[in-house]
Chain A
Amino acid sequence: MAKIIGIDLGTTNSAVAIMEGGEPKILENAEGNRTTPSIVAVSKTNERLVGLLAKRQSVTNPKNTIFSVKRLMGRKFTDPEVQKDKAWLPYEIQAGAAGGVEVKMGDKWYSPEEISAAILGKLKADAEARLGEKVEEAVITVPAYFDDSERQATKNAGEIAGLKVRRILNEPTAAALAYGMNKQKNEKIVVYDFGGGTFDVSVLEVGDDTVEVKATGGDTHLGGDDFDKKIQEYLVGEYKKQEGVDISKDSLALQRLKEGAEKAKHELSTAMETEINLPYISSDANGPKHFIMKLSRAKLESLVQEYIDRSIALTKETVTATAPKGAGFQLSDINEVVMVGGQTRMPAMVEAVKKLFGKDPHQGINPDEVVAQGAAVQAGILQGDVKDILLLDVTPLSLSIETYGGVATPMISKNTTVPTAKTQTFSTAADNQTSVEVHITQGERPMAADNKTLAKFLLDGIPPSPRGLPQIEVTFDIDANGILNVSAKDKGTGKMQSVKIQASTNLSKDDIEKMKQEAATHAAEDEKKKELVDMRNQAESTIYLAEKSIKDAGDKLPADVKTGIVEKVDALKKAKDGDDAALIKAAFEALSTEIQKIGQSVYNNGNGGPNPNPSSDTNGSGHNPESEPGSEPGTESRQSN
């Protein structure tokens, strides 16, 4: 089935997204960019250009380059808004049929729908090229304040472009959809959308499967472009003061400065200070001149503070004023705030919104793409993806096996989609260990005892052998219903034990949350505990090694070396029973250094005795009186099927 695309048809830029694998994904255009300028032109050679190509020739062809046509969609020529826009738009506008608007491009007059259709046509063609299949249907977004005729005009534009418009969706609703907020009942949401050329604020209320627009506000002539202009003006002014040169007349210099200003603005979203560095920007009788100026975040904020303040005042009005001006809510009634538009990356803006509502706004999704993504989500709902009949669950918590020292070693980590299976090979931790206990736990804590026990069973009949030699293959297998099968098999004898746990995912949402919370609050102390256990395991392994080496070397070992090692072994044995990780570490290191003497003395004696090579084998598990499967990194193999 052909995909339905989601389109954010913006005033300055547009974007397209589709649903793929249950997630919205932005489609790049033919030029390899994620957004397309909403510009259409007829070039001097009578060629129709759309997007970036139209933008590239706009300076020299202003009369035939149509931008911001969204401002004219569905409007009457006599509208005061249209008259206001007519004054500054460089292309010609006249009254069309039925009192509508027409714009001149080349030697022909076009309706705004036809211009928008050209943009939509390019978006459609580029999407088809990316997807490798035909696209026939779309969801298109419009501002929440668009009236019926403006919506109809947008729909018509889609039809002209050869798209069946399945839904005209409000931009703020799309943003809320992208954040999955349509599922939360009775929520009041504010969408703060600071675009390139327009500022829109909307108040939404989510009811039963519906998102209702309670109020809209904003300023159709306030946007990120104003910020750029302000910074540019400031820089030109400062430069004139410093160098006595006016670069505002030099088009290349101005273009470089514009780019420098934009780059600086972006950088100041993360850095506190940036340097605009444009060598050879101009020249005079004394030779070349450079532009070098530092711009701090504080300076930038002071330059644009008035715009931010205005947007905040408008937001407050839209939320609190009584209808029809506003939603008539208290600021504290608002449950969620969503940031849309590239300019909302500015920390001062986020801070101002946060201050107004007393809560952190959502800004996890790229603010330039969030509306298109939301349109794709709506498209996905309309498409009713056939595949979605098969809903796959995830394991809410990690499923682990207890390994030596009480450590919970995860077999299937949380949020893994089921059905799935994992197999890992463990070994014994002690010589002649004939059984292992398989202890299955659920939870995020690193120590098994802190997690929930799901089951325990014993695999016995392992033939006596040195520690680390037996290979015990443990498999965790969860089916689609959350039933967990755990089996342990001794590869040597083929002996096998298993257990079936019916309700591995049968925890209530609250339980899961509680367990996750606990894991988070105990993270630091758990980490310490685990470190201590790891240290102890290393210590035991080294003690085992040291004792074995002494035994193996027998008489070949000089008495003083042997005494030294025995002393250190005793010290470490004592330390490891305590809780002081630093002490264990010191004793462990002392012993590690000491046992190297075995090798040295054996080699010095000129015979190739056993080389314990302690430096490369101190991670193994140590002597273990209990019957737990010790995780043996040396012999461990991980495979998944």
Chain B
Amino acid sequence: MDEPQEQNQDQVQNSELEETKKQRDEYLAGWQRAKADFINYKKEEMAHLQEAVKYGSEDLIKDLVSVMDNFDLGLRVLEKAGPVEKGIYMIRSQIEDILKKRGLAKIETKKGDLFDPATMEAMTEIESDLPHGAVVEEIEPGYRLHEKVLRASRVIISKGK
């Protein structure tokens, strides 16, 4: 009578062992996953932090860029070129230098360039000698902040003749 009982006990122990093993694997997997999650989270947070530093002043720079545009509009109608005016030009370039140091770069757009929606925004279309779809005039410069297009250049494009 003893033998079957022992067998039974063995079975119970075996299944308990199996169950425990299963749990162990589950817990280990959970732990590994949690640890990996945490490490990944740290990495992502670091990247995020770097992005935040890089683009943290984006709004401010955007606002300042429009001030600079207005400066340019003003300078364009400034007819005289005496020392007073030179001072104003110098102030303007000071602003530009400050922004350059923070990663701002003007997007170079020339007359005759082919319209590229990645960096330009078409304001209107006019007839011209230039080929269809070419830039006739840049009416407001575009800017990049590091790799991101902060504002596209505003252009008038040609619809040919």
> Is B115 a contact partner of A31 (Cβ separation < 8 A)?
no
Q: How far is the CA of A280 from the CA of B77 in the complex (A)?
A: 9
Q: Which of A38-55 contact B (CB under 8 A)?
A: 43-45, 49, 53-54
Decide yes or no whether A494 CB sits under 8 A from chain B.
no
> Which of B37, B114, B118, B123 sits near A252, CB closer than 8 Å?
B123
Q: Which residue of A lies closest to B159 (CB)?
A: A60
> Is B37 a contact partner of A255 (Cβ separation < 8 A)?
no
> Is A283 a contact partner of B149 (Cβ separation < 8 A)?
no
> Is A387 a contact partner of B33 (Cβ separation < 8 A)?
yes
| Known contacts A279-B73, A287-B77, A389-B30; is-contact A59 B123 (Cβ 8 Å) | yes
> Which of A32, A57, A283 sits near B77, CB closer than 8 Å?
A283
> Is A279 a contact partner of B37 (Cβ separation < 8 A)?
no
Q: How far is the CB of B160 from chain A (nearest CB, A)?
A: 10
> Is A251 a contact partner of B123 (Cβ separation < 8 A)?
yes
> Is B139 a contact partner of A252 (Cβ separation < 8 A)?
yes
> Is A390 a contact partner of B30 (Cβ separation < 8 A)?
yes
A272-314: CB near B (< 8 Å → 1, else 0) gives 0000001110010001100000000000000000000000000
Q: Which residue of B lies closest to A54 (CB)?
A: B117
Q: How far is the CA of A386 from the CA of B33 in the complex (A)?
A: 10
Decide yes or no whether A56 CB sits under 8 A from chain B.
yes
B117-149: CB near A (< 8 Å → 1, else 0) gives 110111111000000110000011000000011
Neighbouring B residues of A60 by C-beta, 8 Å: 122-125, 157, 159
Neighbouring A residues of B55 by C-beta, 8 Å: 32
> Is A21 a contact partner of B37 (Cβ separation < 8 A)?
yes
> Is A21 a contact partner of B124 (Cβ separation < 8 A)?
no
Neighbouring B residues of A278 by C-beta, 8 Å: 70
Neighbouring B residues of A389 by C-beta, 8 Å: 30
> Which of B30, B33, B73 sits near A280, CB closer than 8 Å?
B73
Neighbouring A residues of B70 by C-beta, 8 Å: 278-280
Decide yes or no whether B89 CB sits under 8 A from chain A.
no
Q: Which of B64-79 contact A (CB under 8 A)?
A: 70, 73-74, 76-77
Dominant SS at the B interface?
mixed
> Which of B33, B77, B118, B152 sits near A288, CB closer than 8 Å?
B77
| Known contacts A32-B148, A283-B77, A287-B77; is-contact A387 B34 (Cβ 8 Å) | yes
> Is A59 a contact partner of B118 (Cβ separation < 8 A)?
no
> Is A31 a contact partner of B149 (Cβ separation < 8 A)?
yes
Neighbouring B residues of A53 by C-beta, 8 Å: 117-118
> Which of B76, B122, B140, B159 sits near A57, CB closer than 8 Å?
B122
Neighbouring B residues of A57 by C-beta, 8 Å: 115, 117, 121-122
Q: Which residue of A lies closest to B132 (CB)?
A: A44
> Which of A44, A287, A386 sits near B133, CB closer than 8 Å?
A44
> Which of B30, B114, B121 sits near A387, CB closer than 8 Å?
B30
> Is A59 a contact partner of B139 (Cβ separation < 8 A)?
no
Q: How far is the CA of A387 from the CA of B35 in the complex (A)?
A: 12
| Known contacts A56-B152, A287-B77; is-contact A387 B37 (Cβ 8 Å) | yes
Considering residues A56, A57, A252, which has the most beta carbons from chain B within 10 angstroms of its beta carbon? A56
Q: How far is the CA of A56 from the CA of B121 in the complex (A)?
A: 4
Neighbouring A residues of B133 by C-beta, 8 Å: 44-45
Q: How far is the CB of B59 from chain A (nearest CB, A)?
A: 11
Q: How far is the CA of A279 from the CA of B120 in the complex (A)?
A: 23
> Is A252 a contact partner of B154 (Cβ separation < 8 A)?
yes
> Which of A56, A280, A287, A390 sits near B117, CB closer than 8 Å?
A56
Q: Which of A11-65 contact B (CB under 8 A)?
A: 21, 31-32, 43-45, 49, 53-54, 56-57, 59-61
Q: How far is the CB of A271 from chain B (nearest CB, A)?
A: 15
Q: How far is the CA of A387 from the CA of B40 in the complex (A)?
A: 15
Q: How far is the CA of A32 from the CA of B54 in the complex (A)?
A: 12
Q: How far is the CA of A416 from the CA of B139 in the complex (A)?
A: 55
Q: How far is the CA of A386 from the CA of B29 in the complex (A)?
A: 11
Neighbouring A residues of B124 by C-beta, 8 Å: 59-60, 251
Q: How far is the CA of A45 from the CA of B132 in the complex (A)?
A: 10
> Is B139 a contact partner of A56 (Cβ separation < 8 A)?
no
> Which of A45, A56, A61, A386 sits near B120, CB closer than 8 Å?
A56
> Which of A21, A59, A283 sits near B122, CB closer than 8 Å?
A59
Considering residues B30, B73, B114, B117, which has the most beta carbons from chain A within 10 angstroms of its beta carbon? B117
Neighbouring A residues of B154 by C-beta, 8 Å: 252, 255
Q: How far is the CA of A129 from the CA of B120 in the complex (A)?
A: 23
> Which of B117, B140, B148, B149 sits near A43, CB closer than 8 Å?
B117
Neighbouring A residues of B123 by C-beta, 8 Å: 59-60, 251-252, 255
| Known contacts A59-B122, A280-B73, A287-B77; is-contact A21 B132 (Cβ 8 Å) | no
Q: Which of B17-62 contact A (CB under 8 A)?
A: 30, 33-34, 37, 41, 55
Q: Interface residues, chain B, CB within 8 Å of chain A? A: 30, 33-34, 37, 41, 55, 70, 73-74, 76-77, 114-115, 117-118, 120-125, 132-133, 139-140, 148-149, 152, 154, 157, 159
Identify 11 residue pairs between A and B in the complex whose beta-carbon atoms are under 8 Å apart, listed by A's number. A44-B115, A56-B122, A56-B152, A57-B121, A59-B124, A60-B122, A60-B159, A251-B123, A251-B124, A280-B70, A280-B76
Return the 5 tightest CB-CB contacts between A and B, nearest first.
A280-B73, A60-B122, A53-B117, A56-B121, A60-B125
Q: Interface residues, chain A, CB within 8 Å of chain B? A: 21, 31-32, 43-45, 49, 53-54, 56-57, 59-61, 251-252, 255, 278-280, 283, 287-288, 386-387, 389-390
